[in-house]
Copies of this chain bind each other. A is one copy, B any other.
Amino acid sequence: MTFFEGFLSTPEALDATSDRSFVAAMLRFEAALVRAQARAGLISEEAAQSIVGTCKVELFDVARIVRDSGRAGSAAIPLVKALKETVGLFNPAAVADTHRGSTSQDVIDTAAALVTRPVLDLVVADTRRILDALLDLAGRHADDPVLARTLGQPGSVTSFGWKCAQWAAPLARGLLRLRAAAAPALAVQLGGAVGTQAQLGGKGPEIVALMAADLGLAAPDAPWHTQRDVWVALGCEIGILVGSLGKIATDLALMGQYEVRELAEPSEPGRGGSSAMPHKRNPVGAMVALAAAKRAPQRVAGLLAAMPQEHERALGAWQAELAEWPQLLLSAHGAARALASAVPGLQVDTARMRANLDTLRAELPAAAADEWFDPALARHAGDLARAQVARLRAALAGLQAPGGA
| Inter-subunit contact B74/A275 (CB<8 Å) | yes
Interface flags for A69-85 (1: CB within 8 Å of B; 0: not) read: 11111111100100000
A129 sits at the interface (CB 8 A) = no
Q: What 5 A-B pairs are tightest by C-beta distance, nearest first?
A: A290-B316, A243-B307, A148-B194, A73-B284, A150-B313
A349 at the interface (CB under 8 A from B): no
Interface residues of A in 269-291 (CB under 8 A from B): 270-277, 279-284, 286-291
A312 to B360, CA, bound (A): 17
Interface segment, A46-54, A211-219, A227-235, A397-405? Answer: A227-235
Q: Are B279 and A323 in contact (CB under 8 A)?
A: no
Contact (Cβ within 8 A) B196 A323:
no
Chain A positions 361 through 383: 1 when the CB is less than 8 Å from some CB of chain B, otherwise 0: 00010001000100001001101
Q: Does A189 contact B (CB under 8 A)?
A: no
Q: Complex formed: what's the CA distance from A107 to B196 in Å?
A: 47
Q: Which residues of chain B have C-beta atoms less than 8 A from A377's C-beta?
A: 196, 198
CB of B372 within 8 A of CB of A279, answer yes
Q: Which secondary structure dominates chain A's binding surface? A: helix
Q: Are A75 and B7 in contact (CB under 8 A)?
A: yes
Complex-state Cα separation, A304 to B315, whole angstroms: 19
Q: Is the CB of B380 within 8 A of A196?
A: yes
Cβ-defined contact, A247 with B226, below 8 A: yes
Quickly give the copy total for this chain.
4
A18 to B2, CA, bound (A): 6
CB distance from A266 to the nearest CB of B (A): 13
Q: Once bound together, how far apart are the Cα atoms of A169 and B227, in whole Å?
A: 8
A 103-136 to B, binary, CB cutoff 8 A, 1 in contact else 0: 1100100011001000000000000000000000
Q: In angstroms, how far is the closest chain B Cβ from the Cβ of A26?
A: 10
Asked whether, in the complex, the Cβ of A151 is within 8 Å of the Cβ of B299, the reply is no
The answer to whether A291 touches B320 (Cβ under 8 A) is yes
Beyond A150-B274, A154-B258, A236-B236, 19 additional contacts (C-beta under 8 Å) are A1-B21, A1-B115, A2-B18, A2-B19, A4-B319, A5-B323, A73-B282, A77-B275, A152-B256, A177-B229, A196-B381, A198-B380, A227-B244, A232-B243, A246-B307, A251-B311, A253-B315, A279-B368, A294-B302
Report the separation of the CA atoms of residues A193 and B300 in the bound assembly, to the nearest whole angstrom: 33
The B-contacting residues of A in range 162-207, CB under 8 angstroms, are 162, 165-166, 169-170, 173-174, 177, 192-199, 202, 204
In the complex, chain A residues 35-72 whose Cβ is within 8 Å of any chain B Cβ: 66-72
| Complex-state Cα separation, A170 to B381, whole angstroms | 43
Decide if B1 touches A148 in the complex (CB within 8 Å).
Answer: no
Are A380 and B202 also in contact (CB < 8 A) when A222-B166, A294-B306 are?
yes
Is there contact, CB below 8 Å, between A103 and B308? no
Report yes or no: A276 in contact with B193, Cβ–Cβ below 8 A: yes
Q: How far does the alpha carbon of A14 sit from the alpha carbon of B243 in the complex, in Å?
A: 29
Asked whether any CB of chain B lies closer than 8 Å to the CB of A28, the reply is no
Is the CB–CB distance between A309 and B372 below 8 Å?
Answer: no
Residues of the B chain whose Cβ atoms lie less than 8 Å from the Cβ of A202: 380, 383
B3 and A22 contacting across the interface, CB-CB below 8 Å: yes
B152, A315: Cβ atoms closer than 8 Å:
yes
A271→B71 contact, CB < 8 A: yes
CB pair B297–A319 under 8 Å, yes or no, is no
Q: Which residues of B contact A2 (CB under 8 A)?
A: 5, 14, 17-19, 22, 326-327, 330
Query: Do B250 and A308 touch across chains, with their CB atoms under 8 A apart?
Result: yes
Residue pairs across A and B with Cβ atoms less than 8 A apart, 5 shown, are A155-B193, A157-B194, A170-B228, A173-B229, A229-B240
Q: Which B residues lie within 8 Å of A388 (CB)?
A: 221-222
